[in-house]
Amino acid sequence: MFENDTDLVLTLIAGRGRARLNDAIVTEARASLNNLGAETAPPDWLAEKKACDIAFSGLAPAQGEAAVRTAIDAMDKNGEKPIDIIAQPIIGRKKKLLVADMDSTIVTSETLDDLGAYAKKQDAIARLTQRAMKGKIGFKDALIARVEMLKGVEESALEKTMKRIRLTSGAKTLIATMKAGGAHTVLVSGGFCYFAKRVQKMAGMDAAHANTFIIKDGVLTGEVLDPVIGKDAKLQILLEKAAKYKLSLSETISIGDGANDVPMLGAAGLGIAYHAHPVANDAASARLSHADLTGALFAQGYRAEEFITP
């Protein structure tokens, strides 16, 4: 039972902080699947009060996810139970290649916005960032416009900005655990190599790809070195890395939050929109809107006792 390619698993993941799962929620989730005609297995707890699997068959993933979301929302009229729900094929859940966005995904902030403080244009840059991430303006145009605002900023501001950058909760555990499971981990960013290479090291990732500032005489020129890494390049890196390691796309996972991540979210075997803008949520096969990045491990079927925290 539940070993075929058509069999599915629905994972309930409690949000960050004090959010908890309980037996009543899991029972209601299973009942909602059964009420639509699905056959379900007994709950399998991946972490007590934090994550639980329910294997099922007889429904499409989206049907199962929607039914359970409706049931949980009906139980939670006050919004006190932030729970992520991910339904997917049960075969091949643990992925062998992770391709992750950097800003607002592996790190908590938008690094270009942070750097903008040294040009006294942080708010203007942040507004363009938000428009780009929502898909309301082309990423390349937005990037060029934002970097132009940084013209004349001293190179030393890069180091000062880097000191303020923090990894997202669960990032190190996600990466270390997947690497221990034999996966390759790659950072892809529409941001800049100065930050991406350092974040790669902080997070313990295998590689990083990002854009490059043009710097002359110790100051930023306000220009970007071509070619610009945007959404198409992120997708291409996913495809190239999968080919390099002789993996099918079904063996890959991508994580991101904005319009710049949409193609890679749609192409990966498991594309996770992480605390994302609507355009990314709509494109992804899975969403983590409440959990931290360890939710991506639960989504792959890792148990809490398998987590590696550097």
Give the residue numbers marked as catalytic.
Answer: 101, 103
Q: What's the 3-state SS for the chain?
A: CCCCCCCEEEEEEECCCCCCCCHHHHHHHHHHHHHCCCEECCCEEEECCCEEEEEEECCCHHHHHHHHHHHHHHHCCCCCCCEEEEEEECCCCCCCEEEEEHHHHHECCCHHHHHHHHHCCHHHHHHHHHHHHCCCCCHHHHHHHHHHCCCCCECHHHHHHHCCCCECCCHHHHHHHHHHCCCEEEEEEEEEHHHHHHHHHHHCCCEEEEECEEEECCEEEEEECCCCCCHHHHHHHHHHHHHHCCCCHHHEEEEECCHHHHHHHHHCCEEEEECCCHHHHHHCCEEECCCCCCHHHHHCCCCHHHCCCC
